């Protein structure tokens, strides 16, 4: 019985360590420089998000957890809003909130001020 418990806990430890070694790239810090249209955000849930803004085309692109989502610009009283229906990004300055369906909102902040012309 003791042998089985030791083997089980050893297998569990190996599985847990292998999971840490294969962390998705989106969860790691951004290492590349962005152009003037891109903003990188650190989120309250530990994720990293990149937004690319195309104000002249009325859209943005969000990169999050290995997914890329195009979001058309929406009317906003203050700040900016982009939404494709299920995914909505609301922001002002260097902060934004990501809302996906009925899930809890994800709050994110950039370490630099918003510098994209046409996006407030």
The mean pLDDT of 84-88, rounded to a whole number, is: 97
Angstrom distance (rounded) from CA 87 to CA 36 = 24
Q: So where are the chain's domains? A: 26-109
CA–CA distances in Å: residue 69 to residues 3, 9, 10, 103: 49, 40, 40, 17
The C-alpha atoms of residue 79 and residue 90 are separated, in whole angstroms, by: 7
Q: Find out whether 50 and 111 touch, Cβ atoms under 8 Å.
A: no
Give me the pLDDT at residue 120, please.
64
The pTM of this model reads 0.68
Task: Give the model's pLDDT for residue 113.
Answer: 81
| Residue 14 CB-half CA count within 13 A | 6
What average pLDDT does range 65-83 have in this prediction? 95
The CA-based dihedral angle spanning residues 36, 58, 29, 17, taken in that order and rounded to the nearest 10 degrees: -160
Q: What CATH class has 26-109?
A: mainly beta
7 three-state secondary structure: helix
pLDDT tops 80 at residue 63: yes
| Interval 4-53: pLDDT, tens | 443 344 443 443 333 443 333 333 334 444 556 899 999 999 999 999 99
């Amino acid at each position: 019985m003791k042998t089985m418990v030791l083997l089980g806990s050893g297998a569990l430890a190996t599985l847990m360590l292998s999971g840490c070694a294969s962390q998705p790239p989106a969860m790691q810090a951004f290492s590349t420089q962005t152009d003037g249209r891109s903003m990188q955000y650190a989120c309250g849930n530990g994720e990293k998000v990149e937004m690319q803004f195309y104000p002249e085309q009325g859209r943005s692109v969000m990169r999050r957890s290995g997914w890329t989502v195009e979001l058309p610009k929406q009317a906003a009283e203050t700040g900016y809003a982009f939404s494709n229906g299920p995914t909505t990004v609301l922001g002002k300055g260097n902060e934004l909130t990501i809302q996906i369906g009925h899930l809890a909102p994800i709050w994110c902040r950039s370490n630099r001020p918003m510098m994209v012309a046409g996006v407030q």
